[in-house]
Amino acid sequence: MESVAEQFLKKLEYMKNKYAKKMLLTKKSEAEYENPDKEMCDIFNRRVGNLNVADGYNCEKCKNRGGFMRLSENGNPVFHACTCMNARDMIKNLKSSGLADYITKYSFENYIATEPWQEELKKSAMDFVNDTENNWFFVGGQSGAGKTHICTAITAEFLRQGKKAYYMLWRDEATKIKSLAAEGEKYEKAIFKLKTINVLYIDDLFKMGKDQSGKVQRPTTADINLAFELINYRYNKKNLITVISSERNISEIMEIDEAIGGRIFELSSKKNYAVNISNNLSKNYRRKAVRVI
Ligand SMILES: [Zn+2]
């Protein structure tokens, strides 16, 4: 893919050609212009761009062109990116992260900690996002205890810090990737982003469907292989951040596969970012609204 700088270099070439044509049309020689490069910059800076169409962000300063052309000290036209490009990058990042719909709902501010275990979970999550070292965060156990909420808040904070992040809902994404297993290149492409993205949030790791008798199925060999490929790759690249939530706690994951559980445990417990919420029905938000009689 072209970088913003490459796109603008192309635009610059285009402007030069357009300018040359204009000179021909008006039958003026280059010498008749006081400073052709300066004029070219002015033409560029008067243009109205359309970056806002893609991201909905309107910038009065650069009129949505994304930057300005100015003459450098030695008289060459140089492109300067507008400050709005930071905001545009973040919007793009958020959209491709898969979290756009949840980000305002599942914030740290909206996570109301009324019980000590909730305070602890929130504190651990906030320490994690402020940690300058790249670590892993794991929260397991108890369905409906707000694990997705806290992990989304973590991921959103990393997006705000300018990191690239991706939300992987395990069951959906694993099904998609496993279906590509026989198609080498497509499979590699699908898993590559998950392996290499700066921040990966795996929601509901090893969440399985129920079989015909209503029993929750065990992860298959294909599930375990996929999880291992992903976890092991990220484990070996020390600059990647991984956030994992699961209804299974660490020892249950270890029972499924020791290598996977061991790696998650090692990197998340290093600084106390491994949290197991014990099974207790009162911790289930979804049940809380229902009076148990
Ligand atoms: Zn701008």
**Is residue 171 within a helix (H) or strand (E), and if so which, with residue range?**
helix 170-178
**DSSP 8-state class, residue 230:** H
C-alpha span between 52 and 60 (Å, rounded): 11
Q: Model-level pTM?
A: 0.73
Q: From the CA of 30, how far away is ligand 1's center (Å)? A: 31
C-alpha span between 255 and 218 (Å, rounded): 11
Lookup: tokens for 264: 């998650």
Q: From the CA of 86, how far away is ligand 1's center (Å)? A: 9
From 244, 70, 118, 238, select the one nearest 170 (Cα to Cα): 244
Q: From the CA of 77, how far away is ligand 1's center (Å)? A: 18
Per-residue pLDDT tens for 5-32? 566 667 666 766 666 656 555 545 555 5
Cα 90 to chain centroid, rounded? 9
Domains with residue ranges and CATH for the chain: 4-81 (no CATH), 86-289 (3.40.50.300)
Q: From the CA of 125, how far away is ligand 1's center (Å)? A: 34
Q: What Cα–Cα distance (Å) separates residue 243 from each residue in 38, 66, 144, 157?
A: 50, 33, 17, 12
Lookup: tokens for 290: 């229902």
Q: From the CA of 72, how far away is ligand 1's center (Å)? A: 20
Q: What Cα–Cα distance (Å) separates residue 164 from each residue in 160, 161, 181, 204, 205?
A: 9, 9, 26, 21, 21
- pLDDT recorded at residue 18: 67
Mean pLDDT of 273-288: 67
Q: From the CA of 105, how far away is ligand 1's center (Å)? A: 28
Average pLDDT, the chain: 84
Neighbouring residues of the ion ligand 1, judged by CB less than 5 Å = 59, 61-62, 82, 84
Q: From the CA of 118, how far away is ligand 1's center (Å)? A: 41
Q: Is residue 52 over pLDDT 70?
A: yes
φ, ψ dihedrals at 155, nearest 5°: -65, -40
C-alpha span between 44 and 262 (Å, rounded): 57
Per-residue pLDDT tens for 226-261? 999 999 999 999 899 999 999 998 999 999 999 999
| Vertex 99: Cα angle to 95 and 102 (nearest 5) | 125
Q: From the CA of 59, how far away is ligand 1's center (Å)? A: 5
Q: From the CA of 158, how far away is ligand 1's center (Å)? A: 23
Looking at per-residue pLDDT, the higher value among 164 and 33 belongs to 164
C-alpha span between 86 and 61 (Å, rounded): 14
- pLDDT recorded at residue 116: 85
Q: From the CA of 1, how far away is ligand 1's center (Å)? A: 22
Looking at per-residue pLDDT, the higher value among 289 and 176 belongs to 176
CB 241 within 8 A of CB 135: yes
Q: From the CA of 21, how far away is ligand 1's center (Å)? A: 28
Q: From the CA of 8, how far away is ligand 1's center (Å)? A: 14
